A and B are shown apart, each in its own frame.
Chain A
C-alpha cells in the first residue's frame, strides 16, 4: 500500500482482556518497528523486526507484550491481561532497511483499557 496501515484505529477493552493490534507496512519494507506513545509523551521504542525475526525486543515493558511478523510483512502486537496503564497509542513504522533514515509511521492504534 501507499503507507503504513494500522488496525484497529481505536480499541476499547476491559482490564484483563487480550488484544491484538495489526500493522501492514509499506510493501517491500524489510524493517518494522513498534513504538508506544502515551498521552503527552514522545513515542517510546518497543520492538524492531528485520524480516521475520525480532532483532530487538528490549523495549517491551513485560512478558504480557509479544509481537510477531511470521511472513516478514504484516506484524501483530499482542497484549495479554491488559492493564489500565497499557492505555496509549501504539505506533507502527517501517523502513526500507535497518538503519534507514526515513521511517514511515502509521496513524496508530489507540488502546483504552477500562
Chain B
C-alpha cells in the first residue's frame, strides 16, 4: 500500500515558468510534510516542510500548499531555473512514538529548459 502518492512522475518546464508537483496521503497520523530535492549522485536534501496547522508556507521561490481535508499537498516552484533540475520527493512523517520514520513518494524528475 503506497501511503504517499506523488505526481507527475516527470515534468518539463521552461525557464521562468512555474513547476507544480502534487502529493496525496492516506494516513491521518501524518503531521509533518517535508519536500526533498535530490541531484544525481547525491543524497536527498531538505528543501521546505509544512505542518498541517497551516495551509501554505513560502520560502523564497518555493511554496507548499496544504489541504488537510483533501489530504493533499503540493510544491510550487516559481520562476523555475535550470539549476532547479533535480528529482523532488514529497514525504510524510507521523507524530507520536514513530516521529522518526519518513514515508516518501516515488519522486518527480523536474527538467527546466533554458
A residues at B contact (CB < 8 Å): 4, 31, 33, 35, 40-45, 48, 55-56, 59, 91, 93, 95, 98-99, 101-108
State whether B41 touches A107 (Cβ < 8 A): yes
Chain B contact patch, size range: 20 to 34
Q: Contact: B103 with A45, CB < 8 Å?
A: yes
Query: With A93-B43, A103-B102 in contact, do A40 and B34 touch (Cβ < 8 Å)?
Result: no
Contact of B100 among A44, A99, A102, A105 (CB under 8 A): A99
Centre residue among A43, A48, A91 by max chain B CB count within 10 A:
A43
Nearest Cβ in chain A — how far from B6, in angstroms?
8
Residue pair B43, A106 in contact (C-beta under 8 Å): yes
Instruction: Note all chain A residues with C-beta closer than 8 A to B34.
Output: 101
**Contact of A99 with B43 in the complex, beta carbons under 8 Å:** no
Contacts of A33 in B (CB 8 A): 100
